[in-house]
A and B are shown apart, each in its own frame.
Chain A
Amino acid sequence: MSSGEPRNTATLLRPVEYLGGLLIPSFSVVGGMVKMLCSTLGYIFTPPFYLRNLFRQMVEIGVNSMPVVLITASFTGAVLALQSHTAFKRFDAETLVGTVVALSMTRELGPVLTGLIVAGRAGAAMAAELGTMRVTEQIDALETLATNPIRYLVVPRFIGGMLMLPALTVLSDAVGIMGGFIVSTRVLGANPTTYMSRTWDFLEMDDIFHGLLKAFFFGAAIALISSYEGFASEGGAEGVGKATTRAVVLSSMAILISDYFLSAWLFK
């Protein structure tokens, strides 16, 4: 016997409710990440340091990602050479292929592709491992053993990400340029000497450094987002699965969105 009026109000409020349901959780996620970032930054320079954990993360994020990064980067460089050759041939500028490959790899594709690969590999692993530790109370157990979980778990991942992403990007740049070189000289018949001189003539140190700075930032973002999602997961295996998915999706989005703003800022 409910009267029509409250139901009408409820119907009217539904879009607001929907919007709120969408926005409030996002705000709390962002708030939680900012909070985690602040504690992490605060702990980086003060003891205790967990160097063993840091080395483990550096191996996990850096060394173990190397094969995928190298293969991806070499083919990306190769396809860049192939495509730009087709385009440049139309106005007789094939000699600039080396320049295009080098600039694209160092400024853009090296850091971004490396970031996306690490987000998919190491970011997912972080969220899954920390999420499992959360739902099985291992993170609480750390606290009861008087060990700060952010220091013990998040700081090593954060530093590991910031160190290894630029390192992987250097490799990725080099291998990408190499891939472009091989395709250009062996398949497209470019002159190796001209190709390499075109690569070096127009490549500036700043192109490489700015790319590495991006990678540094991406590494921090992946570690922070994935750790946060792991720590915030709840509700058993399903919750851990969701956290892992969100970690990868959010990290990838963060990389691609921040890439624009970093580029606009760094290369202005």
Chain B
Amino acid sequence: MNSGVMIHIEGLSKSFGKKQVLDGLDLDVMRGESMVVIGGSGTGKSVLIKHIIGLLKPDSGRIHVDGQDVLSLNEHDIGELRKKFGMLFQNAALFDSFSVWENIGFGLRQHTKLSSAEVRRIASEKLRMVGLAGIEDLMPSELSGGMRKRVGLARAIAMEPRVIFYDEPTTGLDPIMADVINELIVDLRKKLKVTSISITHDMASAYKIADRIAMLYNGRIIEVGTVDEIKNTSNEIVRQFISGSADGPITMEVTRA
């Protein structure tokens, strides 16, 4: 069983000041699986991902990735671990002082001895994988939102990672571009056979890219299941969220104020 688990999270808790964001969260992600974590804005989805990558340190809990205890790693080992990760940021987080190909090839240039020409060739190849070509020398400021996301995706896969994190991959895109990104994510998973964790509140996207869906609520995962299981859930909270209804057990802070 344990060999099939890529990411194992146990009792993860984190608070910022008085706000308890994660409160004893448990989650297992299987090797090669596409796990989608859903939950409202500000419920700690990004915080969860930042813990797995080691950008944040939890107050308590355990995180194992590929059998390694992330929290006990030193700086060098966490660097090595991160080379197995790729991450697509919500707004792509492209380096604006670098051109498109330099962005995609950043990791390769830092961590391999490949020549510039070689890195550029790989960057072009990754660009084609995300359906773009001929924009290698453009600067990020010259790209549209959808293109930025795709370049961000190309950068995330440039080092051939084993785990890819998607932070709201479809947020801020028009519905068609959102679906293009969804298709790409599904396609990349088939081609690269990677494990992925996505966080989103876009249910159309979640249904499309997920093997399993986990719902984050009040700092814990309250339900995990396949797409069909989630669609037919009996949990009131999950049902309210996936149907996008203002009435139900989830009360927004705005209504309380």
Contacts and interface: CB of A to CB of B under 8 A. Distances in A.
Chain B interface: which size bin? 20 to 34
A147 B54 CA distance: 13
A132 B93 CA distance: 10
Interface residues of A, number: 14
Nearest to B78: A146
B113 interface: no
B57 interface: no
Interface in A7-57: 48
Contacts of A140: 50, 55, 89, 93
Contact of B82 (A132, A133, A146): A146
A137 interface: yes
Interface in A128-154: 132-133, 136-138, 140-141, 143-148
5 contacts: A141-B95, A144-B55, A144-B87, A145-B106, A147-B110
Contact of B91 (A136, A143, A144, A147): A136
A122 to B, nearest CB: 16
Given A143-B55, A144-B82, A137 B91 contact: yes
B107 interface: yes
B253 interface: no
Given A140-B89, A141-B93, A141-B95, 10 more contacts: A132-B96, A138-B93, A138-B95, A140-B93, A141-B87, A143-B55, A144-B53, A145-B107, A147-B110, A148-B79
Contacts of A48: 110
Nearest to B83: A146
B241 interface: no
B95 A146 contact: no
Contacts of B87: 141, 144
A146 B110 contact: yes
B50 A146 contact: no
B80 A137 contact: no
A246 to B, nearest CB: 21
Interface of B: 50, 53-55, 75, 79-80, 82-83, 85-87, 89-91, 93-96, 106-107, 110-111, 155, 159, 165
Interface of A: 48, 132-133, 136-138, 140-141, 143-148
Given A137-B89, A141-B95, A146 B79 contact: yes
A137 B93 contact: yes
Contacts of B155: 145
Contacts of B91: 136-137
Contacts of B79: 146, 148
B75 A148 contact: yes
A143 B95 contact: no
Nearest to B97: A129
A143 B93 CA distance: 12
Nearest to A139: B93
Closest 3 CB pairs of A and B: A137-B93, A141-B93, A146-B82
Contacts of A147: 106-107, 110
B89 A146 contact: no
A18 B83 CA distance: 46
A133 B89 CA distance: 13
A180 B87 CA distance: 59
B53 A143 contact: yes
Nearest to B158: A145
A186 to B, nearest CB: 46
Contacts of A146: 79-80, 82-83, 107, 110-111
A28 to B, nearest CB: 12
Given A138-B96, A140-B50, A145 B89 contact: no
A120 B79 CA distance: 35
B93 A136 contact: yes
A133 B91 CA distance: 12
B92 to A, nearest CB: 9
Nearest to B156: A144
B75 A137 contact: no
A137 B80 CA distance: 21
Given A140-B50, A140-B55, A145 B82 contact: yes
A145 B55 CA distance: 12
A140 B75 CA distance: 15
A141 B110 contact: no
